[in-house]
Amino acid sequence: MLTLQSDLHGNHLLGALPSHEWQALAPHLELVHLRAEQLLCDSAQRIHHVYFPTTAIISMLSTMEDGGSVEIAAVGREGMTGVPILTGGETMPSRVQVQSAGFAYRMTAQCLKQQFARSDFLRRLMLLYMHVLLTQVAQTAACNRHHSLNQQLCRWLLIEVDRTTSNELTVTQQLIADMLGVRREGITEAAGKLHNEGLIHHSRGHIKIVDRKGLEAKACECYGLVRREFDRLLPRLRQAEAVS
């Protein structure tokens, strides 16, 4: 059980809640540690819990009949998993799996549905987040089809560090390749170019962003579009909090 509002600020959605709203949610939130590659919900599986990451990063993966998969969205401290339950769905259309180990707040799906139904503020907040998440999914699909692997890698790295409190990622080239649905050799070559240009430093299982502005300049417009959409909605969240 959470007793301090500051405890919630590790997650942006929970941190945007006014006092009376977080007091209603706090007794139902459980802080849990998530392991890397932990499966939280498989595709077509009933949603039992939703997660609000604080330090963990969670991937939404589209899976194929041949066993292949590709990441369609990443969720970190800015968001939550399990949004289909808020639109009338009971199952996940994609696999939800932990990409980077860390902590998250967990709540039963049924409890969130009840809070969503009773609270106008929470509905506005969740709908704004769903808008941003759908933008990310749509732009990821367009990026994977139209932009070079170098651009996709830059976009992916920027999105990942946005979802953490650090400019360093504990991640293997194989995992990045799996997320982007490409061969590891392609990631090795693309990461090597970024390293040689002084934009990142990479070693086995570790990547550090050295020049963020340079990396943004190398990325396609997809990263900027998703980031601007999220930033555009944040003032609306603060405004909603002020009038609640």
Give the orientation angle of helix 149-162 with respect to helix 173-180, to 10 degrees: 110
Strand partners, 207: 169, 202
- pLDDT on residue 22: 87
Q: Which pLDDT value is given to residue 9? A: 58
8 A C-beta contact, residue 24 and residue 115: yes
Higher pLDDT, 108 or 235: 108
DSSP labels for 34-55? E-TT-EEE-TT-B--EEEEESS
**Residue-level pLDDT at 157:** 96
Q: For a pLDDT cut of 70, what percent of the chain falls above it?
A: 92
Q: What one-character-per-residue DSSP string does 143-202 give?
A: HHHHS-HHHHHHHHHHHHHHTSSSSEE---HHHHHHHHTS-HHHHHHHHHHHHHTTSEEE
CATH entry 1.10.630.10 includes domain 148-219 = no
Mean pLDDT value across residues 180-200: 95
Give per-residue pLDDT as tens, 70-114: 999 999 999 999 999 999 989 999 999 999 999 999 999 999 999
CATH topology match: 5-120 vs 148-219: no
Does 239 score more than 70 pLDDT? no
What single DSSP character describes residue 219?
A: S
Q: Could you state, in order of their start, the residue ranges of all structural domains in the chain?
A: 5-120, 148-219
113 or 232, which is more confident? 113
Beta pairing, strands 39-41 & 95-100: antiparallel
- Mean pLDDT over 105-128 rounds to 94
Q: pLDDT tens-digit profile of 11-68? A: 989 988 888 998 999 999 999 999 999 999 999 999 999 999 999 999 999 988 887 8
pTM of the model: 0.88
Indicate if the pLDDT at residue 6 is higher than 90.
Answer: no
Grade residue 8 by pLDDT with cuts at 50, 70 and 90. Answer: low
Look at residue 242 and tell me whether its pLDDT is greater than 80: no
Residue 211 reports pLDDT greater than 80: yes
Q: Which CATH number fits domain 5-120: 1.20.1250.20, 3.40.50.620, 2.60.120.10, 2.40.170.20?
A: 2.60.120.10
Q: Which residue has the higher pLDDT, 244 or 228?
A: 228
Give the pLDDT confidence score for residue 153 in this predicted structure.
96
